[in-house]
Amino acid sequence: MPDFQLSCPLPITAYPHVLMAHGGGGRLMRDLIQQMFATAFGGQHETDSAVIPTQGSRLAFTTDSFVVRPIFFPGGDIGSLAVHGTVNDLAMSGATPHSLSAAFILEEGLDLDTLWRVVQSMAAAARECGVRIITGDTKVVERGKADSLYVTTTGIGFFNHPLIIAPQSIQPGDAILLSGDIARHGMAIMSAREGLAFDSPITSDSAPVHREVLSMLQDRIELHCLRDLTRGGLASALIEISTSACLRFDLDESAIPIREDVRAACEILGLDPLYVANEGRFAAFLPADQTPLALQLLPDARIIGRVVEQREPLVVLRSPIGGSRILDLLSGEQLPRIC
């Protein structure tokens, strides 16, 4: 958890809200960068580019904008989510996350205290992930032209292994591993938005997963493909991979972990948990004989299915009572703006 006891380092009594001028390239913007971003993230943050030493022969590069509403939710906030999301995208290529950039689009009138909470949360998440936020940008738009703030994080990572982790590397016979319970992040957001009351609130699973991935790589598990389960959830991720690889996946529904409160919330809102996002879970494709070691390293993981010989893009879910269902991409998504 970030430490929220430090008060905002800007003299917020003078300007307690974001002004258009905070994005204007003048003194107020300089103060915001120096006193808020550089304080929280460390480093310079004033030059046009950050310079980092290269490692190895390949680097991974990924970007995501975050527009989640509400910006604070059980288990996280837009800041920690923006760090985890990009760290996890790097991890999904098998790279070791190294550095992030953070570009803010702020709504005029945003409380500087609120911004400071988000920035501190990003800094704490980055520390926890072992990455540094080394460059950034700030723009301000008029009241009503953004809600509170949007954040875009971009990440760089380096590779310590020669594997090509991608759909093309998947082989018939591969096991499909799921790293933990599904649908939690999406339902945490929706429960917060809809004001659903449970005995205890559903908390997002938002978390970095790179250490899980790197531990498997370190133990020489031959990962063929990885995908985090964000927008569109487990089903959409597997359908996309199946389409790219042109291979059929058979899934065992009873092996897919889902918490009871999450399942209940999905039922109340009429949502299919297979299509609801996580922010700290991933699917992995690996040789079947390496699953015992993988399950030892990832105690919450389950083998949920396998890649079959049939060369057609198809994801089939077998239910506990013996029926089967072909999974298809939804047209849009059940839940807007969950990341």
In the region spanning residues 120 to 149, those forming contacts with a copy of itself, defined by CB under 8 A, are 134-137, 139-142, 144-147
Bridge partners of residue 223, in order along the sequence? none
Structure tokens that stand for 337 in this block: 């703006």
- Measured from the CB atom, is 35 or 264 closer to a copy of itself? 35
Site string for a copy of itself, 14-43 (x = CB under 8 A): -----xxxxxxxxxxxx-------------
What stretches of 78-211 adopt beta strand conformation (E)? 96-107, 132-141, 149-158, 175-178
Q: How far apart (Å, rounded) are the C-alpha atoms in residues 59 and 56?
A: 8
- Interface with a copy of itself (CB under 8 A), residue total 87
* Site stretch for a copy of itself (CB under 8 A), options 3-11, 54-62, 212-220, 252-260: 54-62
Among 42, 64, 74, 127, binds a copy of itself (CB under 8 A): 64
User: For residues 252 and 308, is the Cβ–Cβ distance under 8 A?
Assistant: no
For CA atoms 39, 42, 46, 49, give the dihedral sign: negative
Among 2, 157, 208, 305, binds a copy of itself (CB under 8 A): 157
Upstream peptide bond of 201 is cis (omega within 30 degrees of 0): no
**Phi-psi domain of 53 (left: phi exceeds 0; alpha: psi -120 through 50; beta: other):** beta
Among 6, 11, 54, 267, binds a copy of itself (CB under 8 A): 54
- Measured from the CB atom, is 95 or 307 closer to a copy of itself? 95
* Site stretch for a copy of itself (CB under 8 A), options 191-199, 200-208, 310-318, 324-332: 324-332
State phi, psi for 217 to the nearest 5 degrees: -65, -40
Among 2, 232, 273, 305, binds a copy of itself (CB under 8 A): 232
Least distance (Å) between residue 115 CB and a copy of itself? 15
